[in-house]
Structure 1
């Protein structure tokens, strides 16, 4: 039986926290500065975490190893299961020949890549986050941006930055519901408070996306559209989270944001789209000349997008090919329509949702379950592995892919071969995510994560300004806002009570802080790299997004800190 100590090193919370931070520093240094491959960085961090767990925290060697094994298993299923099936769904469209039509359909709405970044990465990505979450939005929107001519690196950065504001309400608000279950606070109150935080982020994210695509010129030319979409999305999040439905928040916000963009484009046409296309054509030429093929799914993408000339990509749709018929449009959008229908039914129809959840198999992890206590001396429930063989978003994506294969009249042999090839190409991504989750489980079960959280929570009344850091840290380690809330929601609640701060504010801040940590999670970096064909270049992507993550974290910290003091009027009544 192992009980983690909060301050095992010299009975000092400071020194213990510095030791507990070593695994995180390892992965950030090896990825960000030493430019290691992600799987080697993950392996190094796991080794450091095991050393700290065994020699600093006194965790038995067997329990430390079993913790890593459970985390690795969780990384394979359901996390990588979701990514594998999401990429497979995309690969089916390539194999069937309908992937090119998807680009043409998107171009019908707008051939301006800056607009496409907002429509695909922000609006459609937000809808996928609402229904699926767990990396699926990054994977699917990444390949969609590749389809319309984005370079691999730019597509990866755009989708990671876009996958922020919707995350707190992702997968039918499961992060917020988890926080409510753990703290005993009504999740609707937590959701209402988050609805007073993330909408401010949502309002400006489209501006960030335009800047990432076309710099200052893009901002000057498209700021009206970006602001309209961002404000509509944020306002919808606020209204839904406070007055309609916490669970439906991202669905409503994404659809209204998309509608606002489409309606505005009927009356207002941005300028400079051709310049942005020329810029991307030059980037594609340099990328194809300089970057070796990483062997990921992007290898298939290159055949349909990257090898096109600038003339090809700039030619109006109606003169480039035969006119887009209703059937071609439907077939191009079919995979994504099927995904929306299946996930909506699974998540929004209570009978189906309950039945699917009832098929989950709870597996007490052999040798680990019952032998780990949490810091409060209670038996840890984290040692029970939940095998979601049917309710997992990955299984729903698998069903979606099977239906797509049937609609596209693909043979069983071809569809299966695409799946196998996909798994082989993703082998290093699978290893990386497994190692990252192994790291998270060792840190969590040994007590390293709670030590860091307790140290930060010792800031007293200043903790309100620091509380989003815990959510950011938890999501950066695990790749999941839900997991970050599972780690720190009760700690936030306790720290707030001791400091005389409204607990709901800080529990919500944990979730809101987590949304800006997702883009630097090694798990999500690997998913993005896999989707766009940049396997092995996670460190390069990390260096592109880390400053965006830190900048948004600072803003969130200031917002929450001010909401605890001079902006207390922003805290909704009853919270």
Structure 2
């Protein structure tokens, strides 16, 4: 009976694996069909009433729209607006004009700026934009994409102003603050290693670290330390943003301090003459203004400033959607939510960049038009997760995992997150699919649910390294469509290394009872 329940419960997951990886079906169609399959299974086998199944799905859709999709659209709108006002070109020139050494540019653009874009926008921008910039200034395109895929693993957890971890907390029923703290703890070692691997990829071996070890160590520590501290004390929204900002500033200081002699072997030459022109402080400040405002708004409205945080957070509505047993009221915070704050910062920043209201509105509409499929996909995935949770499907999968893996489960836990991201191409979707499963399995095995659930988002970041969608974005960014197999073969050994290391870290942490 247990195996039958397990076999039926994983049908939606198996369908997603087959439809996305084998049938190459668009994710919004595959997830829509998966939702229908889940709906039918919940009613026919798990005997959840039509009303309860419908309200479970409705709860999932509303949870997806506010605040998850709100943040995603706001972040992508901000990026699109900076492209429209040509501010992104200014930012690119500022970053590319710092050094002639491709290793240093890899750290500055691929690590510092890439992590900043992950924290602000995520969803492919953190890999595509740095990779295209690096390829555009002379870095080998395949190396650029490979290094950016490696860099964009661990920052995924706090990407898009913390959406993956915040979503993981919602679907698992865990508190966000301790979950964010556990995520930073479990990801710390791999995050520290990433910049060193980027240099090895960029320079063709360990020998590339010679001469830039100091700057690489600076890039790593200046990100990891503030990133970790922010996650411990401020939560999931700001670690990537604060960590990357500190890292960029410290790298600039380190470049001046170490004064590395130009190495002909790693010199790229500024192939684009525009990169040689200096950007005035005024133009630079204007270009960065939307991102500066996002950082300011998120910090000022955080719990660091309770005088502002409490009144804004009190503007909310709470009501229950799910009509069955175990349903809880959902709270919708209307003002002090990252999506609204990002929209406000983007609009003000756009006006400072001389964009008209009409232009800003046009960019917003084009963003909605471009990403409606992403919104639909996330709504469908979270609706699936809610139905599976309320019907008992997740519990049945968890029970099977408890029986088959037992105390060995912590070693397997990160791989489940890897699988979710490989299937969906999204760290957030992986958390939605398997977050509750990880939490319930941890509780059944008397393990720390925060540690085990954090392993899911760690695995999700690693899974993005080899997911078809991510690699396709990379090839598009460097205008090398058709080179997917080259990139996959280049990144695969780092994927295996990270996956095994993540499994060992999770198992060791569970063994010492973190």
Q: TM-score range by the shorter chain?
A: 0.7 to 0.9
Matched with 1:294 is: none
Deviations 1:288-320 (CA, angstroms, capped at 9, x unpaired): xxxxxxxxxxxxxxxxxxxxxx943xx3633xx
Tell me, yes or no, if structure 1 residue 109 matches structure 2 residue 58: no
Match of 1:317 among 257, 265, 275: 275
**Structure 1 residue 62: Cα displacement:** 3.5
**Structure 1 residue 202: Cα displacement:** 0.8
Q: Residue 409 of structure 2 aligns to a residue in which SS? A: helix
Aligned ranges for residues 168-567 of structure 1 at < 5 Å?
175=165, 196-210=185-199, 216=205, 224=213, 225-234=215-224, 253-266=243-256, 267=258, 269=260, 311-312=271-272, 315=273, 317-318=275-276, 321=277, 323-347=278-302, 348-365=304-321, 369-371=322-324, 373=325, 379-381=326-328, 384-458=329-403, 459-469=405-415, 479-480=427-428, 487-488=436-437, 490-491=439-440, 493-497=442-446, 503-504=447-448, 507-518=450-461, 520=463, 544=488, 552-565=498-511
CA distance in 1, matches of 2:376, 2:96: 36
Q: Unaligned regions of 5+ residues in structure 2, if any?
A: none
Alignment RMSD = 4.5
CA distance in 2, matches of 1:485, 1:37: 21
Q: Unaligned regions of 5+ residues in structure 1, if any?
A: 1-10, 279-309, 374-378, 498-502
Residue 106 to residue 241, structure 1, CA distance change in 2 (3 Å) = closer
Residue 23 to residue 213, structure 1, CA distance change in 2 (3 Å) = farther
**Structure 1 residue 482: Cα displacement:** 7.3
**Structure 1 residue 105: Cα displacement:** 0.9
CA contact (8 A) 1:113 1:273 kept: no
**Structure 1 residue 511: Cα displacement:** 0.6
CA distance in 1, matches of 2:399, 2:261: 50
CA distance in 2, matches of 1:73, 1:221: 52
Q: Residue 23 of structure 2 aligns to a residue in which SS? A: coil
Deviations 1:247-281 (CA, angstroms, capped at 9, x unpaired): 77666644554344333333254877997969xxx
**Structure 1 residue 106: Cα displacement:** 1.1
CA distance in 2, matches of 1:159, 1:388: 35
Residue 529 to residue 60, structure 1, CA distance change in 2 (3 Å) = farther
Deviations 1:344-369 (CA, angstroms, capped at 9, x unpaired): 1122322322233222222322xxx2
**Structure 1 residue 49: Cα displacement:** 2.1
**Structure 1 residue 517: Cα displacement:** 0.9
Match of 1:137 among 99, 104, 122: 122
CA contact (8 A) 1:123 1:255 kept: yes
Tell me, yes or no, if structure 1 residue 73 matches structure 2 residue 31: no
CA contact (8 A) 2:316 2:333 kept: yes
Residue 103 to residue 196, structure 1, CA distance change in 2 (3 Å) = closer
Residue 201 to residue 15, structure 1, CA distance change in 2 (3 Å) = farther
Residue 148 to residue 530, structure 1, CA distance change in 2 (3 Å) = closer
CA contact (8 A) 2:462 2:498 kept: no
**Structure 1 residue 181: Cα displacement:** 13
Deviations 1:38-60 (CA, angstroms, capped at 9, x unpaired): 21222232233223323332222
Match of 1:50 among 18, 33, 39: 39
**Structure 1 residue 15: Cα displacement:** 3.1
Matched with 1:376 is: none
Residue 391 to residue 240, structure 1, CA distance change in 2 (3 Å) = closer
CA distance in 2, matches of 1:449, 1:438: 13
Residue 553 to residue 443, structure 1, CA distance change in 2 (3 Å) = farther
CA distance in 2, matches of 1:258, 1:193: 25
Instruction: Give the alignment's TM-score, normalised by structure 2.
Output: 0.77
**Structure 1 residue 104: Cα displacement:** 0.8
